[in-house]
Structure 1
Amino acid sequence: MSRSLRRGALAATVLTLSIASLSACGAGNDAATLQVKPDNAATSVGDIKIQNATVITQPKPDAKGPAVVSATLFNDGAKDQTLDSVTLDGGNQAELKPAKGSGKITVPAGGSVVIGGKGNASAVLASGREAVKDGDAQPVTFDFSRTGKVSLRAFVVPANSYFKEYGPAEVPQPGQSGSATPSGTASPSESASGKPSESGKPSEAASDAESAHAGH
């Protein structure tokens, strides 16, 4: 074999080894990437999968009001399941309401249900900040009619930024609202003094007085 042919064969071998090494590294990186889990609470038991489980508190640290549990529930089974309860560590149980009507929250067979956010089902914790603290990972248990209890640790976050649309309603502080008298409503003193009513007509007492005066 000539010197030029040997050089060509050597170059081809080096190129092949380089490509093989890069491919191995690529496969390793891809495999590692597949092991990375999203930064939210997710788990699955049987036919039930829970994703994006979060406990969302009031947007301000000193705000009064409830907290909520937000999550997406998937049912890969052939039969519907109902969500019977959502309980935090320590026994603090959420009040559950479906998106429409009343009764239990149903996760349809082969479908999903979103808990939290406008127009969706809800899970409200009445005690709010008394039960949870921002920054914690709070154990939460979802109890389903067929699968049973599914537990995971959900992050506790305030209703800011992305979580604003899924957070709880804030209870007004004293003096913020509810102190104003509804407009258009006559007070008792106005009716007694004979001033015009809401319709602008004289009161009955004023009309009777005018009639008596005209008779004299």
Structure 2
Amino acid sequence: MKAALLAAACAVALVGCGSTRGPDDWRSNHVDAKIGSVRLVHLTIEAPPMDQQQVGGNLPLYVTIFNDGDVEQVLDSVSTTEVQQVVYRDASGAVVQPLRVVVPARGQVSMQKGGGRSFLELQGVNRQLGATPIPVTFRFPRAGSVTVRVPVVPVSTPSPS
């Protein structure tokens, strides 16, 4: 009887813990890439539908970076052969050069859509991307580099009135 009650209590506790986690929770189990103590999660590139994509345009790249280590990590380069360059935009939308995103020890940096957050931007897209994931390389001098196939998520654009 005691064992059954204990098992039920543990199951309820586990279900409750999982339900409070959001996309920026440092304990997130959804990992798109990992290198050393760095985890890249919830990676997406937003693009209009294929018939509205323009060569030479810019697209946002969203990611949350977790640092599980005891030493800060710095993202200092993001690249892909599909664009001319990748830039970092701060919360005001201004381009910050050179690209340098500090991820504190045991901390996180959310570069997700909304809330006046900073984000990465693909500039000068070389071709229509459709919905095909593209390889993007992230470089952290202390942890190393990792290439991730980032999904391209179609986003509806309002039709002109």
- TM-score greater than 0.5 by the shorter chain: yes
Q: Secondary structure at the match of 1:72?
A: strand
Does the aligned pair in 1 maintain the 2:82–2:134 contact within 8 Å? no
d(CA) in 1 for partners of 2:31 and 2:151? 7
Deviation at 1:97, TM superposition (A): 2.8
Deviation at 1:91, TM superposition (A): 6.3
Change in 2 beyond 3 A, CA 1:91/1:126: closer
TM-score by length of 2: 0.63
Q: How many residues align?
A: 124
By relative contact order (CA 8 Å, sep 6+), the higher-ranking structure is 2
**Unaligned stretches of 5+ in structure 1?**
1-39, 165-169, 177-216
Which has the larger helix fraction?
1
Show the 5 A alignment for 1:4-23: none
Give the one of 49, 56, 62 matched to 2:46: 56
Which has the larger strand fraction?
2
Residue 134 of structure 2 is matched in structure 1 by: 138
Q: Deviations over 1:27-82 (max 9, x none)?
A: xxxxxxxxxxxxx8701111000111112123573255411211111111112111
Residue 105 of structure 1 is matched in structure 2 by: 101
Instruction: Return structure 1 stretches of 4+ with deviation > 4 angstroms.
Output: 100-103
Tell me the amino acid that sits aligned with residue 158 of structure 1: P
Does the aligned pair in 2 maintain the 1:41–1:155 contact within 8 Å? no
Give the one of 44, 47, 50 matched to 2:34: 44
Show the 5 A alignment for 1:1-216: 42-58=32-48, 61-62=51-52, 64=54, 65-89=57-81, 92-99=84-91, 102=96, 104-118=100-114, 119-128=116-125, 130-131=126-127, 133-160=129-156
TM-score by length of 1: 0.49
Does the aligned pair in 2 maintain the 1:97–1:105 contact within 8 Å? no
Indicate the percent of aligned positions where both proteins have the same amino acid. Answer: 28
d(CA) in 2 for partners of 1:63 and 1:132? 6
Q: Deviations over 1:59-111 (max 9, x none)?
A: 57325541121111111111211111111135643111344785622111111
Change in 2 beyond 3 A, CA 1:92/1:41: farther
Tell me the amino acid that sits aligned with residue 142 of structure 1: F
Tell me the amino acid that sits aligned with residue 74 of structure 1: F
